Amino acid sequence: MHGGLVTVLLDEAMAWAAFASTSAYYTGRLEVRYRQPVRTGASLVLRGWVTRNRGRTLETRAEVRSESGDVLAEATALFLRAPKPA
């Protein structure tokens, strides 16, 4: 699978974790580590979570794992709280 698609999966997992824990946030910084190839058509386990809540910012992590539990890719990100609509 193209690395950009893997990044989208990781970013989406962290965004949902950020949204579930508080309010709307957006990605401010994202770092991805590709550990092994992610094969198309394979079943994957995707997990994202908040590691630190600083109010205005959230630190998050995510992993893409194979069905057997091998880490294929992982990411960390800093999410910024979205401004309230005027």
Whole-number pLDDT of residue 20: 81
Q: For residue 51, what are the domain limits?
A: 3-81
Q: What is the pLDDT of residue 12?
A: 96
Q: Answer whether residue 58 is part of any domain.
A: yes
Residue 45 lies in a domain: yes
Q: Is the pLDDT of residue 21 over 90?
A: no
Residue 86 in domain = no
Asked if residue 78 lies in contact with residue 61, where contact means CB atoms within 8 angstroms, the answer is: no
31: in domain? yes
Examine residue 7 and state whether it is found in any structural domain, yes or no: yes
- The answer to whether residue 29 is domain-embedded is yes
CA distance 49 to 70: 18
Residue 67 lies in a domain: yes
Q: Does pLDDT of 51 surpass 90? A: yes
Mean pLDDT, the chain, as a whole number? 93
Report the CATH number at residue 26: 3.10.129.10
Which pLDDT belongs to residue 10?
Answer: 98
**Among candidate residues 39, 42, 45, 49, the one with its CA nearest the CA of residue 71:** 45
Q: How many domains does the chain have?
A: 1
